[in-house]
A and B are shown apart, each in its own frame.
Chain A
Amino acid sequence: MIKKIYAFGTSHSCGGGFEFNTFNSSPNPDIYKKIINSENHFDFSYPSILSKLTNIEVDNRAKQGYGYERVTRQIFDVVNDDLFDKDTSLFLIEISDWDRQEFWFNRINDYVIVNSHPMEMQDANNISIANDYHYQSYEVGNEIKNNKELFDRFIQYTSNIDNLIEKLQINFLFLVNFLENQKIKYLLTNGDVVLPINSENLTNHRDNILKYNLHDFTDNKTKIVTNWVDKVFDFKITISDESSQQVKDNHQGYSVSEYIAKTIFNKMVDLNYISMSKIDCNFLHSWKSIKNKINPLM
């Protein structure tokens, strides 16, 4: 039986879009307090919703803006923790894309993440760097600003799309083989990485990919997806869509996170990770219920 859940990933796994009192210009998503009376973005994330459903403690290590390098690093931290028990733990891993590179930065004694748009990489204006996109201190922000040129130039000298993709693929292949070698239970919450040809026999991860039935409001059809992060904008199921533009944010709406948590819950029942009965898991039910709560007059 699972007694602890660890979550790894990006903003999509840590309640991105539900940041309160952030230094950037986003207004507080106060209407969502009708759902959860909290100003902690983690409370709006699917791992937290899952924690409530299962009554299992969740250690959520996802962070806004960061990518697979942090995921890998955090996994190593967890398995090296004295309290980690692989037999009773489950890893939820959100696979992200290749356009995020992290660097240790001695001046702040912590990591920074560099997000860039590879097609426009020659232009430093398209490279954003942060230690924390929402809550970093003024001093940290200043250190990053003073050294931005160093990172800009490094990215411009070294960032090649094919090479970055290859790095992501190698990391993924090695990581899932590590998890299998160590017999660590894991589920991939947002699909996997597009792997090179000839790699079919190099992992056993495919059974660990979660599948979701999400609704695409552009053609009003329910579709099976694995990578929902890339779909929520197209399907019109973002926070903006869910809140009828009261909160402008392109992360998934709370109902998507609720549905994802329920899907994971039912998968955990199937895998005998918890001895509970399956629950109703229908995206449109969640969507309508949340919409009604936050848009009562619409």
Chain B
Amino acid sequence: MIKKIYTFGTSFTQGGGFEFDVMPPKYKKIYEIFDDEEQSQENFSYPGQLKKLLPNVEVFNLAKSGYGNERMYRKAIDLVLSDSFNSDDTLFLLEFSYLGRKEFYSKKLKDFIVVNYNNVENKSILNGYARTYRQSQYLSDKDISKLPSNDFFEKFVEKTFDENIQVDLMHFNNLKFLSFLNERNINYLFTQKPMMFPTRVNLDNYHIETHEIKTFRNSSFLSELDETSIDYETEGIYSDTHFGLSGSKYVASKIFDELIDRKKIKGNKLNQKLSDFSYIKKKIKLNSGNIL
């Protein structure tokens, strides 16, 4: 039986959109009507909701907005190397991301930063860089003052990033990481599986399908986003494309059922449908007059 769950990924796992400390009051107010929900990013993320469904399992959310696979590899190996790690009773829930997220160490911050970029017409263009996105202006300014200028990162990205090179690097890094997890018998499931490209590497050795969460549409939690996003459940009042409260609850319930199916936990399946969470959208709509 699983006793500890660690979740890895991007803002979609961290609870992006629910940065209550820095949210405009208007948006905060939307969710204050859910007075039985702790007003914290952790609680509004799917791992926060999963935690409530699994009182006997410790759930740790290690995802971070803006960051990607490199942070996941680093955090996963840190855990595996820790004294208390026990592969038998631990489960990793992995959200793989795509390109556009490159992690570096900042000597001045003594911490990691992420550089986000886009590839447009064979050119890589800087989108942003930060230690932590969506934090207070004061903390953000403090971090940025210790980092090189925007101009520096723009040049660095333009001159040293290439889409094909980054794809190859990401692809092999993902395969090496999965090799490590498989060879070391570490329990893991994909909330979002890694993108695979044509390769002569024997992918059968990874048993990708056996790590998919079948209770999600297309075995991908992002496939559930259309009718569960913040934007959807607030009917555009809060235009944010991350999971809404209904999304986090729905994703958590699907993972719960998957864990029952896989005999990782004991209990009865919830068998919840999307419509079971439509009350959230309705409640927000009912109160939208007060909010606006």
A217 at interface (Cβ–Cβ under 8 A)? Answer: no
User: What mask results when residues 146 to 161 of chain A are scored 1 for a CB within 8 Å of chain B, else 0?
Assistant: 0100100110111110
Please report the number of residue pairs spanning A and B whose Cβ atoms sit closer than 8 angstroms: 101
- Taken together as a complex, chains A and B put the C-alpha atoms of A124 and B194 apart, in Å, by 39
- Determine whether the beta carbon of A106 is less than 8 Å from that of B205: no
- Determine whether the beta carbon of A104 is less than 8 Å from that of B162: yes
- Taken together as a complex, chains A and B put the C-alpha atoms of A45 and B205 apart, in Å, by 35
A174 at interface (Cβ–Cβ under 8 A)? Answer: yes
- Determine whether the beta carbon of A150 is less than 8 Å from that of B201: no
**A23 CB contacts on chain B under 8 angstroms:** none
CB distance from B179 to the nearest CB of A (A): 4
- Taken together as a complex, chains A and B put the C-alpha atoms of A202 and B82 apart, in Å, by 12
User: Chain A: how many interface residues by the 8 Å CB criterion?
Assistant: 40
**B74 CB contacts on chain A under 8 angstroms:** 166, 170
- Determine whether the beta carbon of B148 is less than 8 Å from that of A157: yes
- Determine whether the beta carbon of A154 is less than 8 Å from that of B156: yes
User: Chain B: how many interface residues by the 8 Å CB criterion?
Assistant: 44
- Determine whether the beta carbon of A159 is less than 8 Å from that of B107: yes
- Taken together as a complex, chains A and B put the C-alpha atoms of A160 and B199 apart, in Å, by 34
B73 at interface (Cβ–Cβ under 8 A)? Answer: yes
- Quick one: given A106-B162, A182-B201, are A160 and B107 in contact (CB under 8 Å)? yes
- Taken together as a complex, chains A and B put the C-alpha atoms of A82 and B162 apart, in Å, by 24
- Taken together as a complex, chains A and B put the C-alpha atoms of A103 and B158 apart, in Å, by 12
Within 8 A of B (CB), among A48-100: 72-73, 76, 79-82, 84
A277 at interface (Cβ–Cβ under 8 A)? Answer: no
8 Å CB contact of A157 from B80, B108, B183: B108
User: What mask results when residues 171 to 204 of chain B are scored 1 for a CB within 8 Å of chain A, else 0?
Assistant: 1110111111011100000000000000111100
The residue of chain A having its C-beta at the shortest distance from the C-beta of B181 within the complex is A177
**B82 CB contacts on chain A under 8 angstroms:** 198
Q: A84-B200, A104-B162, A150-B155 are in contact. List 4 more A-B contacts (CB 8 A).
A: A147-B159, A177-B182, A178-B179, A182-B202
B interface residue numbers (CB < 8 A to A): 73-74, 77, 80-83, 85, 104-108, 147-148, 152, 155-156, 158-162, 165, 168-169, 171-173, 175-180, 182-184, 199-202, 205-206
Subset of 13 A-B contacts with CB under 8 Å: A79-B200, A80-B200, A104-B162, A106-B162, A159-B105, A173-B77, A177-B180, A177-B182, A180-B179, A181-B179, A181-B206, A198-B83, A201-B184
